[in-house]
Amino acid sequence: MALLSGKRSKQEEEKLSAGLEKTRSSLFGKLNRLVRGKDTVDADVLDDLEGILVTSDVGVKTTVDIIRRVEERVANDKYVSTRELQSLIRDEISHLMLDHAPDRPADFDAPLVNQPHVIMVVGVNGVGKTTSIGKIAHRYKEAGKLVILGAADTFRAAATEQLQIWGERADVEVIKQGQGSDPAAVAFDTLAAANNRNADVVIIDTAGRLHTKGGLMDELSKIKRVMDRQVDGAPHEVLLVLDASTGQNAIRQAEEFTRSVDVTGLILTKLDGTAKGGIAIGISNEFMIPVKYIGVGEQIDDLQVFDRESFVKALFD
Amino acid sequence: MFDNLSEKLEGALKSITGKGRIDELNIAETIREIRRALLDADVNYQVAREVTERIKDETVGQKVLSSVSPGQQLIKIVYDELVDLLGTNQEPIQFSQKPPTVILVAGLQGSGKTTFCSKLALHLKSQGKSPMLAAADVYRPAAVDQLETLAASIDVPVFSIRKDGNVVKDAVNVAREAVTAARKATRDVLIVDTAGRMHVDEEMMHEVEAIRDSISPDEILFVVDSMTGQDAVNTAKEFNDRLNFDGVVLTKLDGDTRGGAALSIRSVVQKPIKFASTGEKLEALSAFYPDRMAQRILGMGDVVSFVEKAQEQFDEKQAEKLRKKISTEKFDLEDFYDQLQRIKKMGPMKDLVGMIPGIGRKLNDLEVDEDAFKHIEAIIQSMTTDERSRPEIINGSRRKRIAAGSGVEVRDVNQLLKQFKDMRKMMKTMTKMLGKGRGIDPSTFLSPN
Ligand SMILES: Nc1nc2c(ncn2[C@@H]2O[C@H](COP(=O)(O)OP(=O)(O)OP(=O)(O)O)[C@@H](O)[C@H]2O)c(=O)[nH]1
Ligand SMILES: [Mg+2]
């Protein structure tokens, strides 16, 4: 493997254009070709696995980890068939990803411990926070829950209007103040309204911010802190939205957002493109945060509860 | 966690030192470290392989220079290669002979198109042009409102089509009529903002082609988030196949992304990167600097961006002086004072520090209280020239004198001196991170030409 042994492999000699075409073809198709008729995994297979994982944004560190685990397991088994190898690889990867926490069920029908159940949504600019909120609101509403949204992105131009439109689409109430108002005050008001109306679910939208901006991250902590004064233990969930096309910087995002607001789950958006969102594997593992939902389009129904098996499978499609 | 590539390379290259010549075998581990650094920076897998292969070919057979460390020698090769790949010259926008010049802006969802369009309008306006914006993102909720709000803040007109208060969902028509409207209003540039779209969305890709065909833009810009990972090549390639765009805009560079996508895109579509977008404020637009991008990709921190940011306040000569002083640790209280005057105009110190990849918030303890500036200024004003250039000579009695002279307590003077020491230490650390003393001379990277 190029990253492990430094040996020069056949792949390294391939030309760039051909290489790019190649990454689109299926690993397991390749595995079949490479493993058939052999009773051990050879370097070419692991090399290919490395290529697939790295091009899915899994990152070098996690990729090397996965390959080591696969090698170790293969070393223990005398004979590995294609089929066994396939499931072994999938197994090792999905093991790295956390399951949904029982007190924060991903299923929209599930009963919620807190009333209102308060969710705060955070992330860098343009990842899909507002859109995801619209979709989640719709799902909770469909499940018969009373949902209220809080427009605490008071910074970006027309952010409130955007959430308002999503509120109309999902047919749920949106609490807002004008652009430039204090986001913590909006969050506070939203929870007050939720208490008044006996709401089941509250979702707070926040302005996109780069995790490197100390002042804005402090602001986020403050928004989070005031909620507890209205509803005990709120927010009960803090969802960090990651764009599936983001590379290694997502790790830094997870690091800083976790530090500031104690992220409890991830939403991985834009999986309807060709990006695989492999970065979520390392993040889920390292920060002990489960991926909760995935976004697969811009329409209100384009949200799915995260499923490890299909996610891992899609890495190799 | 600061990736110190030069340090790793020094380690990997130990085996070569004294060998005389670099060969396939003794370079293998080093090449792997370089490849890994590129991948960590999100350079595409295949592109990284290509680049490292080329670097290997270039190095194998080379004599190891005894005057410099092999690590330094190699980093220079890698760095030059990256700068080369990223493109060396800056490419301006093509203006049409017959106004309006039409600029079409396209890209994925959330890449920063709308903000960029407004920034470009402001930028052109400051060059004496009279731009108009067209709101052809007819899909995303409130996208038109967003563009209108931004445009109003810079006093640029927006063309949009609404019926009974609702946006009419015909982007091709908006674009086409915007051209006519711009001509009528004698605006000399029209910037067309389009909806974000997935490169695999056949219908939407077809729409953007139709927009292009109906307005024949003079310039097509592809906007891409600098935090993009491996998939950047796929999207850039598809957009380029469809639109044959003229240039790339890299956004969100004010974060700490290493930005390898820039290199991947350049390698795959061979189109120049024309702008860098560096913040949410509409002024935050700059030209693209391949040298700085190369440093960023190699994880060498970004003292340069820090300095560049300062350059908005400092003139060239002063910036160069500061650059030298930081790298040689000759930064004194006189410089500190001088900087305070400018920093006050540059915005929060925290934001500046945030530009340094890998450091980010870790420097929060060094927060500068903006109100403290007044005291600090007074204190420094009460010092002699000698004290300012050699703060270490400021002993107890001098501190008392300075405190009395500036009307503060001795502990305020102590605190300032401590803060200054911390700051110097931070700069020293950054210099170290750029390359261990014996390793590479950071100034080669600060001024590569
Ligand atoms: N294709 C696709 N597009 C998405 C998805 N989720 C969001 N988007 C689009 O991405 C763009 C940005 O989404 P927003 O919801 O405005 O993102 P945000 O994080 O709220 O953005 P800011 O508030 O500006 O930071 C919009 O054009 C959305 O339609 C998804 O799962 N797939
Ligand atoms: Mg939003």
Q: Is there a single domain that holds both residue B131 and residue B244?
A: yes
Q: What is the span of the domain harbouring residue B354?
A: 303-433
* Cβ neighbourhood burial of B49 (10 Å; 0-12, 13-18, 19+): buried
Q: Does A180 touch chain B (CB under 8 A)?
A: no
Inspect the interface and report whether the beta carbons of A156 and B47 lie closer than 8 Å: no
Nearest residue in A to B29, CA atom:
A6
Q: Is A156 in the pocket of ligand 1 (CB under 6 A)?
A: yes
Among the atoms of ligand 1, which is closest to the Cα of residue A296?
31
Q: Is A295 in the pocket of ligand 1 (CB under 6 A)?
A: yes
pLDDT classification of A41: cutoffs 50, 70, 90: low
Q: Does A52 touch chain B (CB under 8 A)?
A: no
Give the helix/strand (H/E) hosting A314. helix A308-315
Answer yes or no: is B439 within a domain: no
End-to-end alpha carbon distance in chain A: 22
Confidence at residue B332, expressed as pLDDT on a 0 to 100 scale: 83
Inspect the interface and report whether the beta carbons of A12 and B53 lie closer than 8 Å: yes
**Residues A96, B270: contact at Cβ < 8 Å?**
no
Answer yes or no: is B321 within a domain: yes
Confidence at residue A36, expressed as pLDDT on a 0 to 100 scale: 52
Cα A39 to chain centroid, rounded: 37
Confidence at residue A75, expressed as pLDDT on a 0 to 100 scale: 77
Answer yes or no: is B93 within a domain: no
Ligand 1, residues A130, A246, A267, A292: which to mutate, most atoms within 8 A of Cβ?
A130
Answer yes or no: is B283 within a domain: yes
Answer yes or no: is B296 within a domain: no
Which of B3, B9, B39, B201 is best to mutate for the A interface (most A CBs within 10 A)?
A: B39
* A191-247 pLDDT per residue, tens: 999 999 999 999 999 999 999 998 899 999 999 999 999 999 999 999 999 999 999
Give the helix/strand (H/E) hosting B344. helix B333-346
Which of A4, A298, A302 is best to mutate for the B interface (most B CBs within 10 A)?
A: A298
For residues A91-116, give the mean pLDDT.
90
Confidence at residue B449, expressed as pLDDT on a 0 to 100 scale: 26
Q: Is there a single domain that holds both residue B255 and residue B119?
A: yes
CA A231/CA A229 separation, integer angstroms: 6
**Residues B93, B274: contact at Cβ < 8 Å?**
yes
Q: Does B32 touch chain A (CB under 8 A)?
A: yes
Q: What is the pTM of this model?
A: 0.80
Inspect the interface and report whether the beta carbons of B32 and A55 lie closer than 8 Å: no
pLDDT at position A11 over 50: no
Nearest residue in A to B51, CA atom:
A16
Residues of B in contact with A154 (CB under 8 A): none
Residues B277, B353, B349: CA angle, nearest 5 degrees: 100
B196 CA to middle of ligand 1, Å?
A: 9
A122 CA to middle of ligand 2, Å?
A: 9
List A residues 29-48 in contact with B (Cβ-Cβ < 8 A): none
Q: Is there a single domain that holds both residue B345 and residue B311?
A: yes
- The architecture (CATH level 2) of A11-94 comes to Up-down Bundle (1.20)
Give the helix/strand (H/E) hosting A285. helix A279-287
Answer yes or no: is B91 within a domain: no
Confidence at residue B187, expressed as pLDDT on a 0 to 100 scale: 97
Inspect the interface and report whether the beta carbons of A215 and B350 lie closer than 8 Å: yes
**Residues A53, B229: contact at Cβ < 8 Å?**
no
DSSP assignments along A58-91, one per residue: --HHHHHHHHHHHHHHHHHSS---HHHHHHHHHH
CATH, domain range A117-315: 3.40.50.300
Q: Is there a single domain that holds both residue B422 and residue B385?
A: yes
End-to-end alpha carbon distance in chain B: 29
3-state secondary structure of A96: coil
A21 CA to middle of ligand 2, Å?
A: 35
**Residues B402, B382: contact at Cβ < 8 Å?**
yes
Please count the other Cβ atoms lying within 10 Å of the Cβ belonging to residue A117. 24
Q: Is A297 in the pocket of ligand 1 (CB under 6 A)?
A: yes
- DSSP assignment, residue B283? T
**Residues A239, A292: contact at Cβ < 8 Å?**
yes
Residues of A in contact with B225 (CB under 8 A): 126, 243, 245-246
Sign of CA dihedral B377, B383, B389, B395: negative
**Residues A209, A220: contact at Cβ < 8 Å?**
yes
DSSP assignments along B214-230, one per residue: HH--SEEEEEEETTB-T
Q: Does A218 touch chain B (CB under 8 A)?
A: no
Q: How far is A231 from chain B (nearest CA, A)?
A: 30
List B residues 365-424 in contact with A (Cβ-Cβ < 8 A): none
Query: Which ligand does the CA of B200 lie closest to?
Result: 1
Per domain, the residue ranges of chain A are: 11-94, 117-315
The torsion angles phi and psi of B329, rounded to 5 degrees, stand at: 60, 30
Q: What is the CATH number of the domain that holds B49?
A: 1.20.120.140
Beta-bridge partners for B134: B159, B192
Query: What is the pairing mode between strands B247-251 and B219-225?
Result: parallel
CA A255/CA A242 separation, integer angstroms: 12
Amino acid at A259: R
Closest-CA residue to B204 (of B108, B130, B116): B108
Amino acid at A96: L
Residues of A in contact with B256 (CB under 8 A): 211-212, 249, 252
Confidence at residue A17, expressed as pLDDT on a 0 to 100 scale: 37
Ligand 1, residues A271, A298, A304: which to mutate, most atoms within 8 A of Cβ?
A298
Q: Is there a single domain that holds both residue B233 and residue B320?
A: no
**Residues B295, B77: contact at Cβ < 8 Å?**
no
For residues A131-149, give the mean pLDDT.
98
Q: Is A131 in the pocket of ligand 1 (CB under 6 A)?
A: yes
Confidence at residue B371, expressed as pLDDT on a 0 to 100 scale: 60
Residues 6+ apart with CB under 8 A from B436: B6, B7, B10
For residues A88-102, give the mean pLDDT.
88
Amino acid at B369: D
What pLDDT tens digit does each residue of chain B (449 aa) get? 234 566 666 666 666 666 667 777 778 888 888 899 899 999 999 999 999 999 888 888 776 655 455 666 677 788 889 999 998 667 889 899 999 999 999 999 999 999 999 999 999 999 999 999 999 999 999 999 999 999 999 999 999 999 998 999 999 999 999 999 999 999 999 999 999 999 999 999 999 999 999 999 999 999 999 999 999 999 999 999 999 999 999 999 998 899 999 999 999 999 999 999 998 899 999 889 898 888 888 876 544 445 455 545 555 566 566 667 766 667 788 877 877 776 666 555 555 554 444 444 344 444 445 565 677 888 998 999 889 888 889 999 999 999 998 888 899 899 888 888 877 777 666 555 543 333 333 333 332 22
Sign of CA dihedral B189, B194, B196, B198: negative
Beta-bridge partners for A265: A239
Nearest residue in B to A166, CA atom:
B141
Q: What is the CATH number of the domain that holds B165?
A: 3.40.50.300
Inspect the interface and report whether the beta carbons of B39 and A275 lie closer than 8 Å: no
3-state SS string over B173-217? Answer: HHHHHHHHHHHHCCCCEEEEEECCCCCCCHHHHHHHHHHHHHHCC
- Number of structural domains (chain B) is 3
Q: What is the CATH number of the domain that holds B391?
A: 1.10.260.30
pLDDT at position A303 over 80: yes
Nearest residue in B to A160, CA atom:
B142
Specify the higher pLDDT residue, B325 or A5: B325
Answer yes or no: is B446 within a domain: no
Q: Is there a single domain that holds both residue B277 and residue B156?
A: yes
Q: Is there a single domain that holds both residue B109 and residue B58?
A: no
CA A239/CA A132 separation, integer angstroms: 10
Ligand 1, residues A131, A220, A268: which to mutate, most atoms within 8 A of Cβ?
A131
pLDDT at position A23 over 50: no
- Dihedral of the CA atoms B353, B355, B359, B361 (nearest 10)? 60
Tell me the count of A-B CB pairs closer than 8 A. 194
